[in-house]
C-alpha cells in the first residue's frame, strides 16, 4: 500500500505556527505587491478571496487587501521539510519526495512492525501534528495515482483510504470529474465534454480501442487511470536514476523572469538532495508543461558530474532561456532534475583539479554546514535576494 502525504498550505502554515498572531487571518507568502512578485503560498483564509499560488502579488492584494503578506523563507521551509521527512523514514525507507511539502511512501513492508497502512498513515499524521505542529492530509491507496487523489479530496486535514479490491477502487473513482485524471487538461477536457463525458465512471465505459482512436497513445494512459491502474514504484533518492523537483502553478505563468526565479528554487532543492546523499549528476533536465498540457523536456550533459548548485543552475537557466520555444508560454508546470548519478567519492580527485569548481564546492559545503547548525536563514544566495525583490 502507498501513502501520499501532502502538507496543508505548507509555507503559510509554517508562518502561522511561528507567529500565532497570524492564525485566523488571511496570510500570503510571496513577493511584494509593489514589485513583480508572485504568491508562493496562501492559507485557506486567503484562498476564500480567490488568492492562490502563482497569482501576481498585486492581484492578490486587490482580491484580499487585509491579507498579511510575508516574504518566503525557502531555506527555512526546506529545514522543516527535513524534519517531516525524518518522521516518514521511521516507518519506511521507501520515501519519494515530490517537493518540500509532499511525498509518496511505500509502507507495504512495514505492516509487520507498525500495523496496516491505514494505521501507519494515522500515526504519521499524528506525529507531524505533535512534533512539527503542522497539519498533513494523507491518502492511503494501492498505488500512487489513487493515493495522490485521495490526499486531496478532503483537504485541509484530510484522511482518505481507498481499499485494494477492484470494487472499492471503482466506487472511489467513478463519481469524480474526468479532470481528476492526470493528463486531462483544457484540450482533452473539451474533447470529453463534446462526447458528453463528465465523470471517470462515464469515461470507463469507453473501450481501450476507442480511447486510442480518439487520443492516440494518451488514450491507453487514460484507460489505465480510469480503471485505477498505476504500476509505478515508489523510488527513494538512493535508488533514483533521476533526482528532481517540479511544481504546478495554480495560475499559468508567462513572465520568463518569474519562471527563472522558480527554476532557481527548484535547482537549489535538487542540489541539496544530491549533496545529502553524496551523489553527483552529469545531465541537467528541465520540464515545461504549457497551459494546453503540451509538455517538453530539455537536457544538457555537462563535461563532468557535479552537485555544485551554481553549475547546475547555469545549465538549467540556459535550457530555459535558449531551448524552450515561446509557444510554450504561459507555463503550467516547471520541473528541474539531474540524471547520470554517480557516487560523489568516485569523483573527488578528478573534480578538484578545477580551482573554480573546488571553490564553488567548498562554498556549498560551508553553506550547508552553517544552515544545518544555525538555521537556513543564517545564509542565503545573492540571487535569492534578487528573487525576493522580484
What does the block give as the cell for 379? 545564509
Count of helices and strands (H, E) across the chain: 17, 13
Give the count of beta carbons closer than 10 Å to the beta carbon of residue 105.
Answer: 30
Q: Known catalytic residue: 89?
A: no
Contacts of 159 (CB under 8 A, 6+ apart): 121, 122, 125, 137, 138, 140
Q: Which residues pair with 103 in a beta bridge?
A: 5, 97
Would you state the torsion angle of the CA atoms of residues 153, 126, 41, 385, taken in this order, to the nearest 10 degrees?
-150
Element (H, E) at 244: strand 242-253
Q: Which residues pair with 85 in a beta bridge?
A: none
Parallel/antiparallel/unpaired status of strands 102-106 and 95-99? antiparallel
Q: Round to whole Å and give the CA distance between 279 and 342.
A: 6
Q: Round to whole Å and give the CA distance between 208 and 204.
A: 9
Q: Which of 319, 306, 321, 285 is nearest to 364 (CA)?
A: 306
Contacts of 373 (CB under 8 A, 6+ apart): none
- The CA-based diameter of the chain, rounded to the nearest angstrom, is 64
From 102, 265, 268, 311, active-site residue: 102
Q: Please say whether the beta carbons of 287 and 246 come within 8 A.
A: yes
Give catalytic residue positions: 102
Amino acid at each position: 500500500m502507498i501513502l501520499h502525504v501532502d502538507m496543508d498550505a505548507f509555507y503559510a502554515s509554517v508562518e502561522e505556527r511561528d507567529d500565532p498572531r497570524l492564525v485566523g487571518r488571511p496570510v500570503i507568502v510571496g513577493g511584494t505587491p509593489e514589485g513583480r512578485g508572485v504568491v508562493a503560498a496562501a492559507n485557506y483564509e486567503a484562498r476564500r478571496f480567490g488568492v492562490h499560488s502563482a497569482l501576481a502579488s498585486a492581484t492578490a492584494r486587490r482580491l484580499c487587501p487585509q491579507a498579511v503578506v510575508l516574504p518566503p523563507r525557502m531555506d527555512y521551509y526546506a529545514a522543516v521539510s527535513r524534519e517531516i521527512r525524518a518522521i516518514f523514514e521511521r516507518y519506511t525507507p521507501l520515501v519519494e519526495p515530490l517537493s518540500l511539502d509532499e511525498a509518496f511512501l511505500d509502507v507495504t513492508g512495514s505492516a509487520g512492525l507498525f500495523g496496516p497502512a491505514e494505521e501507519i498513515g494515522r500515526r504519521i499524521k499524528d506525529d507531524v501534528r505533535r512534533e512539527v505542529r503542522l497539519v498533513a492530509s494523507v491518502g492511503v491507496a494501492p498505488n500512487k495515482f489513487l493515493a495522490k487523489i485521495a490526499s486531496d479530496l478532503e483537504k485541509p486535514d484530510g484522511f482518505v483510504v481507498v481499499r485494494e479490491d477492484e470494487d472499492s477502487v471503482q466506487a472511489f473513482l467513478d463519481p469524480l470529474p474526468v479532470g481528476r485524471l492526470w493528463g486531462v487538461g483544457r484540450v482533452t477536457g473539451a474533447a470529453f465534454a463534446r462526447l458528453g463525458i463528465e465523470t471517470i465512471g462515464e469515461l470507463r465505459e469507453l473501450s481501450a480501442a476507442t480511447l486510442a482512436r480518439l487520443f492516440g497513445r494518451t488514450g491507453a494512459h487514460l484507460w489505465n487511470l480510469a480503471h485505477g491502474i498505476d504500476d509505478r514504484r515508489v523510488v527513494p533518492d538512493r535508488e533514483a536514476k533521476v533526482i528532481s523537483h517540479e511544481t504546478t502553478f495554480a495560475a499559468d505563468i508567462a513572465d520568463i523572469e518569474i519562471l527563472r526565479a522558480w527554476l532557481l528554487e527548484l535547482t537549489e532543492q535538487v542540489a541539496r538532495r544530491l549533496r545529502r546523499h553524496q551523489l553527483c549528476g552529469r545531465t541537467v533536465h528541465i520540464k515545461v508543461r504549457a497551459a494546453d498540457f503540451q509538455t517538453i523536456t530539455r537536457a544538457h550533459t555537462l563535461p563532468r558530474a557535479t552537485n555544485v548548485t551554481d553549475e547546475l543552475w547555469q545549465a538549467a537557466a540556459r535550457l530555459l532561456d535558449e531551448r524552450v520555444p515561446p509557444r510554450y508560454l504561459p507555463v503550467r508546470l516547471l520541473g528541474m532534475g539531474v540524471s547520470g548519478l554517480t557516487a560523489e567519492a568516485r569523483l573527488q580527485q578528478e573534480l578538484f583539479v578545477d580551482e573554480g569548481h573546488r571553490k564553488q564546492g567548498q562554498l556549498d559545503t560551508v553553506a550547508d554546514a552553517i544552515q544545518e547548525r544555525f538555521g537556513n536563514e543564517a545564509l542565503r544566495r545573492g540571487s535569492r535576494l534578487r528573487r525576493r525583490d522580484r
